[in-house]
Structure 1
Amino acid sequence: MDAAMRGDARKETPRSRLLAAALALYSRHGVNGTSLQMIADRLGVTKAAVYHQFRSKDAILLALLEPLVSDMREVVERAECERTRTAQVESVLTGVIDLAVRHREVSALMQADPAVPALHASQSDSAALSERIGQLLLGPDPEPGRLISVAMLGSALMMTGKNPKLAAVEDEELRRQMLVAARRLLGLRSRG
């Protein structure tokens, strides 16, 4: 479960339990393969109880994606405030890796499920944010090698955190290793 949805049971709300159940089902069956009835069954409630919280699967999906988009916005704005190109790249790279780790399941869902990007791009500014992240990493007039490296990096970052072989890796270690690998892929100097 994503860090945003983790916490002790005393803080859980019907909405957060519904989002956690939907994320688990979306991850297993895909968005199109998951019905509102399946979500209700997993929670042990009626379909009407699900409708009370959300009117559609799309509304549930957008609620799952919103924390990620909000965090993306902060990463982009912080990086764009940096004075040098090197500082911008470092800021956005570190920020995106933090996002991929913090939002492991949602990030993987965005990459793996074809229903997610189309809905999300039509309902929010995530496409524009992704474009700004790409521009920060690419810089002006990127060479083909840089274009390929950034494209590979984008897909890899979002899927790495969800890799079942890495489930036992603690967030901080995952973050550190992803940053080392990302810097290597982009040809950046390693930081101590």
Structure 2
Amino acid sequence: MAGQPDGRRTDTRVRIHEVALEVFTEHGYERATMREIADRLGVTRPALYYHYRSKEDILASVHDELATSVDELLEWAGGQPAARATRRELLRRLHALMSGPWHAFSRFAQANEAAMRDLSATAGFAYRMDQVGALLSPADSVEGRLKGRLALTALFMATARGGQLGGTDAERMAAALDAANSLVK
């Protein structure tokens, strides 16, 4: 049917993203190869090249999807009142993203800071996250803005710093959401 996305193609892209992030995290972005990604996917390199020309293209695509999800959050939050309930719902939605689709990317980004620095879209993503932090601020003051950004940082820390924090992914994410909620009263 015209106008509807091909579910198989979307599923394939998602699977490539997942596997590529695993390989990038395990071997380091610089040492990871398209061959390793294709092997882990169980496909030929030409089949992988049909979707992406390079690992840089894969990483840029993953990053673009994350940026789109942030844009959707910002659009939703922009239409809501600047109230505690809105901040808490924004945190809940961020928590869901970071527990799910963003989790592997957060781990990758922490393990591959140099690759993230070289990614052209990183500055735009940082700007978007700064906007989210501003929306989480419970007051228009230095303290309020700091609390908003700390709430956001708590969610990122729970995904990227598992070895340092201990516990399971679910325990860390639950603790991060509790800490973030306590900051955005």
Matches within 5 A, 1:98-117: 98-103=96-101, 104-114=103-113, 115-116=115-116
Query: Judging changes above 3 Å, is the alpha-carbon distance between structure 1 residues 119 and 11 closer, same or farther for their aligned structure 2 residues?
Result: closer
Give the corresponding residue for 1:24: 22
3-state secondary structure, aligned to 2:121: helix
CA distance, structure 2, for counterparts of residue 116 and residue 150 of structure 1:
24
Per-residue deviation, residues 93-121 of structure 1 (Å, max 9, x unmatched): 22222221122212332344211354152
CA distance, structure 2, for counterparts of residue 121 and residue 68 of structure 1:
11
Matches within 5 A, 1:91-102: 91-102=89-100
**Please, which runs of 5 or more residues in structure 2 have no aligned partner?**
1-7
The alignment's C-alpha RMSD in Å is 3.2
Q: CA deviation at 1:14?
A: 4.4
Q: TM-score when scaled to structure 1? A: 0.70
Q: CA deviation at 1:146?
A: 5.3
* Equivalent pair of 1:37/1:47 in contact (CA under 8 Å): yes
CA distance, structure 2, for counterparts of residue 118 and residue 91 of structure 1:
33
Give the corresponding residue for 1:119: 119
Give the corresponding residue for 1:7: none
Per-residue deviation, residues 120-145 of structure 1 (Å, max 9, x unmatched): 525x84233212112112353323x8
**Please, which runs of 5 or more residues in structure 1 have no aligned partner?**
1-9
Aligned residues: 171
CA distance, structure 2, for counterparts of residue 55 and residue 133 of structure 1:
32
Query: Judging changes above 3 Å, is the alpha-carbon distance between structure 1 residues 59 and 44 closer, same or farther for their aligned structure 2 residues?
Result: same
CA distance, structure 2, for counterparts of residue 153 and residue 113 of structure 1:
23
